[in-house]
Every structure is written in structure tokens, then in C-alpha cells.
Amino acid sequence: MTTDSAYERFCSLVDAAAADAGITDTGLIARIKRPERIHTVAIPLRRDDGRQEIYTGYRVQHSSARGPYKGGIRYHPQVDLDEVMALAGWMTIKTAVVDIPMGGGKGGIIVDPHNLSPRELESLTRGYMDLIWHDIGPQLDVPAPDVNTNSQTMDWLADEFARLTKTDAPAVVTGKSLAHGGSAGRDTATAQGGFDVLDAALTAAGQSFAGKKVAIQGFGNAGSNAAQLLEHAGAIVVAASDSSATLVAAAGLPIQRLADHKAAGMSFASLAEFTRLDPGAALFEPVDILVPAALEGQLTAENAGRVKARWVLELANGPTTSEADEILAAAGVTVLPDILANAGGVVVSYFEWVQNLNGERWTRPEVEARLAVTMRRAYDAVAELAARRGHGLRQAAYVIALQRLIDAMAGHKLKARRAAKSSAKAAAP
């Protein structure tokens, strides 16, 4: 039975990478692991029936060494601080792996948004901003969507920020709708970036997508868009799950139809014409490529041995525990790690931020071309280090990220020293 929490998992990954990179400064490693700031808020909500309720929300600001805190906000009944701390840390690592000038943060509200009306959801979202707006901003902390939040949520947050600060600052959040300063390509960016990474990895192995069988766990933003891209590239999606069921079809599932079904707010369990298994079954189907695109901690010491895929594309954050990672590596499975594979979302978020700050609008092909360059460059660096050091891609990605983070932290120190010197000079008689 595995006992490590998500944050412990993040810390042990940092420890392992630090040991690998020969970083022995324990104080520095401790600083890298600990979030710089943690905000906990109590959000009041007046329900439609008049009842007053209080919801707990978090914003964890992990690291600003490389730029403003950056990371999504999720609405889920199982959000807890440990998990948000881990997700924030992963954002710091992720922005460093793909080398964009941003740090790491994450937020969440403990709520099942499916139980709220649209008015209640808007009120809760604005209420969250009312409590955190002092601590966020285009140059300070830039939230984005995550599980159960979307462009509508981001539009409400941006609008509330504008109302509170009396400024028009669309760059305060990313993942907005196109009408409110969102970027072309943001909706499909996570899947597109993962696809670019998998494409690079398959090409390097002398393989292609043609005829490859795919199973996808989670059919939300990341999973459904990945299904469409993989199908378009010639792969066959034979299994896909949401939280209600896994659908299986040996000849391939009708991806567009499933996406329309989900967009209409219906679950897979209601699709009686397909073979339906339990939601977790997608992980163990006989396929070439497995795409975990749901939640953390799905592949564990107990079940990793049942994975039949040769490639795992981690679109979800933290879907694989450290023990599962070892089991998969020993079985010869190539795991394309979350901090690289799902970084497309934050890369295009960064593009959106740049466009907002410069008053620009890039087309979808422009965004996708820039994304592909960024993702392939990141993959090449990670794959090269992994090959040179003889270890897995995850460890290599962490080593690269840690090195960039430490360089930036040293830069911070230098800047602080220079500032102290010049103010000392100015103060001298």
C-alpha cells in the first residue's frame, strides 16, 4: 500500500533530482521544496434557496524565482492543501522544463461544481477573487483553468479583478474566452503539446502513430482533445473513460460523437451501445499508448503491473506514484512525464499573457507552430540528458528544471546584493 501524499511525492522527486545533479546544499533544496506563500480563504456563498454556505479555497504561490507565479485553479470536492502544494511545485518545475519566464502556483476550491447553479458558480468564483486579488496580478501571479474550471471561470475572475482594481488587466488570468482576451489554441494546447512530445518520442524510436492503439483515462479538456489529435494522426482510440465508465470498442471509438456527448453534459455511463467497464479499466486495456488525463495517483504500486501499454503520455498531473514509475520502467514502458507532456497548456497560457501585455493577437497556426518549437526543444533537451545519464525522462526533466531554478535563484541573490550595494553607496556620506 502506497502512503506518500502528492506533496511528499513532489519532494522526493526534487530530492532524487538534486542528488542526481550533485546538489548538496540542503538549505537550498529545502527552499526549492517549500512554497513561498500559502493563502487559505473562506468564501461565503448565498445559495439559490437562500442558505449561506462557506467554501474553503487555496492559492499556493510556490516559486517566483523565474517569473510571476503561474498555475491553474481547480474546483473539486477532494481538493486539499497537500495536493495544491504539490501541484504548485510541479508548476514551478514545469515552467522551468519548457523554459518560459514564469514561476509556479496553484489554486483550488473544495466544491463539487456540479451541485451549483450557474449563478452560484459565478458568485463563488467572484467571491474567491474578492479574497485573493491583493496577492495576484499580471506581474505577480497569473491563474488559469484546471479541473472543472474553464474560460468562463477565467472571464469571471478577470472581470472581478478589473472591477476591484479599476484597471483593465486581462493578463491577470489566462485561459480566457477569445472575446475577453484569450489566445487562439489555448483550448487544445495541453493535448497539442502532449501530442508534440509523443510525436517527437515516437519519431526518435523510429515509430509513427499509424495503427497504434490508444486508451485515454479522462475525457475532459486534455483527454478529449488528445483523442481527436491522436485519431487524426492515424492512431485508434479503443478505450476512453470519464468518471462514470470506460467505453471500449476494438475498431475505434467515435471520438467526435463522444466529445459532443460530453459537451452536452452527459456521462459515458449513459451510452448503452458501447461495452462499458468501470472508470479505472481504461488504464489496463491492451493498447500501445496509455494517456492518463484525469486525476493524480492513478497508477500505483498495486496496479502498475497491469498496464499493457508501451508508452504512457501523462496529460494529468501526477498520475503515476514513484513506486509505479519504477514498476513501469522495469517493464520497459516509456513514461512521458507530466511536467513535460502536459506543459502545452502553460506554454500557451504564457503566449496569451504575452499577447495581452503587448496588445497582440496571434492566429491558431502561429500559436501551434510556436508551441511545437517550445515542446520539441524541451523534449530534445530532456531526452538527451536522459540518454547521457542513463535514467528516465522524468528524472532528466527534474534535473534540467532544478538547474534552471537554482540559476534564477542565484540571479535573485546577485540582484539583491547589487541593490544593497548601490543603496549603501547612495547612503554613504
Binding site for ligand NAD (CB under 6 A): 146-148, 190, 217-223, 241-243, 279, 293-295, 315-317, 342, 345
Check if the beta carbon of residue 297 is closer than 8 Å to that of residue 321.
Answer: yes
CB of 281 to ligand NAD, least distance (A): 9
Check if the beta carbon of residue 23 is closer than 8 Å to that of residue 402.
Answer: yes
Nearer to ligand NAD, 183 or 342 (CB): 342
425 given a catalytic annotation = no
Nearer to ligand NAD, 159 or 187 (CB): 187
Rounded distance between C-alpha atoms, residue 108 and residue 216, angstroms: 25
Nearer to ligand NAD, 64 or 221 (CB): 221
Rounded distance between C-alpha atoms, residue 346 and residue 342, angstroms: 8
Nearer to ligand NAD, 28 or 277 (CB): 277
CB of 168 to ligand NAD, least distance (A): 25
What's at 342, amino acid-wise?
N
Q: Which residue is nearest to ligand NAD (CB)?
A: 220
Task: Tell me how far CA of residue 251 lies from CA of 214, 265, 338, 363, in angstroms.
Answer: 11, 25, 29, 35
CB of 293 to ligand NAD, least distance (A): 5
Extract the C-alpha cell encoding 360: 497582440
Nearer to ligand NAD, 23 or 97 (CB): 97
Task: Tell me how far CA of residue 77 lies from CA of 184, 209, 222, 251, 366, in angstroms.
Answer: 31, 37, 20, 36, 38
Q: 72 forms bridges with which residues in the sheet?
A: 144
CB of 231 to ligand NAD, least distance (A): 17
Rounded distance between C-alpha atoms, residue 398 and residue 200, angstroms: 19
Query: Is residue 342 classed exposed, middle or buried when 0-12, 13-18 and 19+ CB atoms within 10 A define those classes?
Result: buried
Neighbours of 229 (CB within 10 A): 20
CB of 10 to ligand NAD, least distance (A): 14
Owner of C-alpha cell 540518454: 387
Phi-psi region of 325 (alpha: psi -120 to 50; beta: other; left: phi over 0): alpha
3-state secondary structure of 137: strand
3-state secondary structure of 378: helix
CB of 19 to ligand NAD, least distance (A): 27
Catalytic residue, from 33, 70, 94, 106: name it: 106
Nearer to ligand NAD, 23 or 295 (CB): 295
Rounded distance between C-alpha atoms, residue 388 and residue 21, angstroms: 13
Nearer to ligand NAD, 171 or 406 (CB): 171
CB of 70 to ligand NAD, least distance (A): 11
Which residues have a Cβ under 8 Å from the Cβ of 198 and sit 6 or more positions away?
Answer: 289, 311, 313, 336, 341
**Strand 334-336 and strand 311-313: pairing?**
parallel
Residues with a catalytic annotation lie at: 106
